[in-house]
Chains A and B, each alone.
Chain A
């Protein structure tokens, strides 16, 4: 004959049995160990009075439905984390402040089929919760890494294009114009050739920092290619992008880089494009257009911003040129191409 009380006491599952008055009629050893309440002390007591927090968790409602309907009831760990506030007692393994619990309420029926007792089983699911959390965290990190350019720690090209795509969808729906800026370090080959690749890497990292500090929170910056950076200016037409671009150009021009005790300056050239007149533009089309104006900026002697000039929503043959010698806001003037 199996000694059932002994069996229940040796289960590594918390087991409580309560009657209709919510009085405890069984409290197994697992419950004694984790609650530090010996069974002599709790048998016959009302469970929700000994543990008032159970009311907050909705225990009376669930117990009531089990008694009335004879169904099973559950406490999901995902929603409740735990039913009983049991502190974790492990020494070596990583853990959580409180034991995570999955709880099942089962009806115990008498010979006439009515529910006489409810058995509450408490499963310690802390380990699986931890694994799950670690998994989610690793997944988040991998996702994060797949979006970030390792050298500059800003968005990589793929993620920049993804974000641009998302922004384009939003702008197309709202009818707002969006602009992009493509910029390139002037004579970057010289930096690498004269000062070495380590210094080149430093310049790119530093530049990414300067650009980030000059942009608004909702502008999206990414490394487009080697020494090329792309910026998405949401909700902004060419005029607004021009202001941003000129600010960046001027900041970079004035910044003193320092590598191996050598101080030097660099400049950048910038090309702009916008969705004005073409709200359905693709990310590729926009950057291709910006690249064309970047090419013009290079051809115009570098260290300048070149943007398309619009007449009635069409790009005119002329383009707007801005450089450090001009005041962008007041004196942008078309030049013949």
Chain B
């Protein structure tokens, strides 16, 4: 199955653009959340450089909160959503504005719940559309908070993951909900052992398009 050829890279970018476009449309329509998802590039990066790559793109001086969610199905991977640490109140307001998000939790937990919820909704919508375009469906695991109000340098990679490479997509996200705006980063990682599966699906997509 070799590598992420230019053709596949183009197809992947296209799929991401279409599916994320649909995801933001459905989020806008259903929840009145406007999400601009900007996909600058798709690349293969060695496992050992994942954190480094995140550090470069997010910057090490800003404190962030990171929500992580794993997805499983025909292909598996993880999505990270990095949100500025000081965005907690904005996140709560965003979900709270007439949308009924008001669980009875202490302030800090409520902030985390809002982050988890935003992460879960955005990740679910994006990956759901992505899977649909590739004629498959995905299941999702419980989202988790990987990092709380801290620099990305404090994120630790799980050394037991033996994959040498990962396919990494970094997506800049800008949320707008009512008066509240929030910027973040979505980082999608596909493990190396799922490359074959993903490439097969991409080839099929390319075939159908041509």
Interface of chain A residues 103 through 127 with chain B (CB within 8 A): 104, 106
Query: In the bound complex, what is the Cα–Cα distance between A57 and B109 (angstroms)?
Result: 12
Interface pair B120/A74, CB less than 8 Å apart: yes
Interface pair A69/B121, CB less than 8 Å apart: yes
Interface pair A72/B140, CB less than 8 Å apart: yes
Query: In the bound complex, what is the Cα–Cα distance between A73 and B125 (angstroms)?
Result: 11
**Nearest CB in chain A to that of B27: its residue:** A69
Query: In the bound complex, what is the Cα–Cα distance between A114 and B168 (angstroms)?
Result: 31
Interface pair A74/B104, CB less than 8 Å apart: no
Question: In the complex, what residues of B have CB within 8 A of residue A102's CB?
Answer: 142
- Chain A interface helix/strand/loop/mixed: helix
Interface of chain A residues 33 through 82 with chain B (CB within 8 A): 56-58, 60-62, 64-65, 68-74, 76, 78-80
Query: In the bound complex, what is the Cα–Cα distance between A60 and B105 (angstroms)?
Result: 15
Nearest CB in chain A: distance from B183 CB, A? 22
Interface pair A61/B142, CB less than 8 Å apart: no
From the candidates A61, A74, A80, A104, name the one contacting B101 in the complex (CB within 8 A): A61
Interface pair B143/A74, CB less than 8 Å apart: yes
Known: A58-B101, A71-B121. A79 touches B26 (CB 8 A): no
Question: In the complex, what residues of A have CB within 8 A of residue B95's CB?
Answer: 61
From the candidates B113, B116, B125, B144, name the one contacting A71 in the complex (CB within 8 A): B125
Nearest CB in chain A: distance from B188 CB, A? 16
Known: A69-B125, A79-B113. A57 touches B104 (CB 8 A): yes
Question: In the complex, what residues of A have CB within 8 A of residue B120's CB?
Answer: 71-74
Interface string of A81-100 (1 = CB under 8 A from B): 00000000000000000000
Interface pair A69/B103, CB less than 8 Å apart: no
Interface pair A72/B139, CB less than 8 Å apart: yes
**Nearest CB in chain A to that of B122: its residue:** A71
Interface pair A80/B99, CB less than 8 Å apart: no
**Nearest CB in chain B to that of A74: its residue:** B142
Question: In the complex, what residues of B have CB within 8 A of residue A65's CB?
Answer: 31, 121
Interface pair B125/A80, CB less than 8 Å apart: no
Question: In the complex, what residues of A have CB within 8 A of residue B125's CB?
Answer: 69, 71
Query: In the bound complex, what is the Cα–Cα distance between A64 and B99 (angstroms)?
Result: 10
Question: In the complex, what residues of A have CB within 8 A of residue B112's CB?
Answer: 76, 78-79
Interface pair A70/B143, CB less than 8 Å apart: no
- The verdict on B102 contacting chain A, using a C-beta distance below 8 Å, is yes
Interface pair B124/A72, CB less than 8 Å apart: yes
Question: In the complex, what residues of B have CB within 8 A of residue A61's CB?
Answer: 95, 99-103
Which of A57, A69, A102, A106 has the largest count of B CB atoms less than 10 A from its CB? A69
- The verdict on B30 contacting chain A, using a C-beta distance below 8 Å, is yes
Nearest CB in chain A: distance from B48 CB, A? 28
Which of B103, B117, B121, B128 has the largest count of A CB atoms less than 10 A from its CB? B103
Nearest CB in chain A: distance from B136 CB, A? 14
Known: A79-B113, A79-B116. A69 touches B104 (CB 8 A): no
From the candidates B26, B31, B102, B143, name the one contacting A58 in the complex (CB within 8 A): B102
Question: In the complex, what residues of B have CB within 8 A of residue A57's CB?
Answer: 103-104
Query: In the bound complex, what is the Cα–Cα distance between A12 and B116 (angstroms)?
Result: 26
Query: In the bound complex, what is the Cα–Cα distance between A72 and B112 (angstroms)?
Result: 18
Question: In the complex, what residues of A have CB within 8 A of residue B144's CB?
Answer: 76
Nearest CB in chain B: distance from A335 CB, A? 53
Interface string of B102-133 (1 = CB under 8 A from A): 11110001001100110011001100100000
Interface pair A68/B30, CB less than 8 Å apart: yes
Question: In the complex, what residues of A have CB within 8 A of residue B139's CB?
Answer: 72, 106
From the candidates B99, B100, B128, name the one contacting A70 in the complex (CB within 8 A): B128
Query: In the bound complex, what is the Cα–Cα distance between A74 and B109 (angstroms)?
Result: 15
Interface string of A265-276 (1 = CB under 8 A from B): 000000000000
